[in-house]
């Protein structure tokens, strides 16, 4: 959610829009102000006499396509199953034992 909130705030600052779209998602004013401080500290926005303005770093982050962090594989939990084709067992269909799904 943090990355999505950052991108939404950067979009609002870039388009000089109001915060109604964020407030309707139950984001509070303290959360918005905290995120604005974080954006300024990370140099995504800068405070000018006309208000906040996006930096090159901020516009690049806003336009990036990666919204979520990539998951790493946990190799200690990875299992490898080796089953041959002749080891599969499929029971015969017996009418009345297995009920068919009807739409």
pLDDT for residue 43? 92
pTM score, whole prediction? 0.59
Q: For the chain, which domains are there?
A: 2-63 (1.10.10)
Residue 1's pLDDT band (cuts 50, 70, 90): very low
Position 101 confidence tier, pLDDT thresholds 50, 70, 90: low
- How many Å separate Cα 66 from the centre of its chain? 8
For the stretch 15-39, what's the b/e string if a residue is b when 16 or more beta carbons lie within 10 angstroms of its beta carbon?
Answer: eeeeeeebeeeebeeeebeebbeeb
Q: pLDDT tens for residues 40-89?
A: 999 999 988 888 899 898 888 888 776 555 566 677 777 777 878 777 77
CB 53 within 8 A of CB 13: yes
The per-residue pLDDT for range 7-49, each reduced to its tens digit, is 888 888 888 888 888 888 888 888 888 989 999 999 999 988 8
Residues 6+ apart with CB under 8 A from 9: 22, 32, 35, 36, 39
Q: Is pLDDT above 70 for 98?
A: no
């Amino acid at each position: 959610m943090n990355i999505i909130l950052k991108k939404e705030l950067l979009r609002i600052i870039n388009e000089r829009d109001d915060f109604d779209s964020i407030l309707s998602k139950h984001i509070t004013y303290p959360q918005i102000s905290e995120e604005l401080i974080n954006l300024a500290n990370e140099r995504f926005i800068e405070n000018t006499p006309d208000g906040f303005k996006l930096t090159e770093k901020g516009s690049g982050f806003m336009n990036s396509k990666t919204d979520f962090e990539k998951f790493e594989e946990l190799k200690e939990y990875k299992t490898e199953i080796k089953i041959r084709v002749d080891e599969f067992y499929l029971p015969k269909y017996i009418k009345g034992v297995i009920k068919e799904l009807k739409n």
